[in-house]
Amino acid sequence: MQKKIRVLVVDDHTVVRDGISALLALAGDMEVIGEANNGNEAIELIKKLMPNVVLMDIAMPVMGGLEATRRILKDFPGTKILVLTQYDDKEYFLPVIESGASGFISKAAASSELVTGIRSIYRGDSFLSPSVTKLLIEAYQRSITDKNSHDPYNELTQRERDIFKLLVEGYTTQEIAYSLSISPKTVEGHKTKLMNKLGVHNRFELIKYALRKGVNHI
């Protein structure tokens, strides 16, 4: 029998926790092993239950999601955290990325996105909801003005720039390959090269680079 993904749901709204639990029960390959009302409760439950993935709300009493995420990843580095947020919580985007969470998804996202996000971060990948990625870029592109005299972006080929833009917009390797009429292996090759040129290591760092540069210049 396939080992199920052990999920802890952290949210201060009972109806939200119940809804998520019911949804994940239908996925087949995951189970909700516990629920917490705030960050403090989450930390205590993680000690006892050792979940694979934590679904973490941001705005909660006693201890919010950002502080809880930082503490959990410090004490339980093997735990994967997928942060849930209201659609318009733009001020939390960069702090969430910088907290070390593996993924970021809007509560307004489709249920399939939530399931995909859990599976992705469980495998060790990062996950950003496309709708969240779009808002993140729009919210910060005008406020980020850090300009470097030497911009490694100028060293990217046009194909690498095309792939970079699609990556930060939330497209998967398969979707990029289809869009550009190239193979997934070729996409991965260009992805590795552009990351090396930009000095980044994952999609979150690509997003942060895009924010500093401004999406209109990509």
Residue-wise pLDDT for 128-162, tens only, equals 887 667 766 665 555 454 544 567 888 899 999 99
- The pLDDT score that the predictor gives to residue 140 is 56
The least confident of 5-9, 89-93, 118-122, 197-201 is 89-93
Same domain assignment for residues 47 and 125: yes
In-domain check, residue 156: yes
The parent domain of residue 167 ranges over 152-217
pLDDT score for 148 = 45
Cα–Cα dist 4/115, whole Å: 13
Asked whether residue 113 falls in the same domain as residue 200, the answer is: no
pLDDT at 53 over 70: yes
Residue 147 within any structural domain of the chain: no
Q: Containing H/E element for 43?
A: helix 39-49
Total domain count, the chain? 2
What per-residue string of b and e applies to 45-61 under the rule 16 or more CB within 10 Å gives b? bbeeeebbbbbbbbebe
Domain termination site, one of 103, 132, 161: 132
CA torsion 67-71-73-77 (nearest 10°) is -170
Q: What are 80-118's pLDDT values in tens digits?
A: 999 988 755 566 677 777 788 998 888 777 788 899 999
Residues 15 and 75 occupy one common structural domain: yes
Note whether 14 and 99 are same-domain residues.
Answer: yes
Structure tokens of 82? Answer: 């997928």
Among residues 99, 132, 165, the one where a domain terminates is: 132
What's the pLDDT score for residue 90? 60
pLDDT at 68 over 90: yes
pTM over 0.85: no
- Strand ranges inside the chain, DSSP E: 5-10, 30-36, 53-57, 80-85, 103-106, 127-128
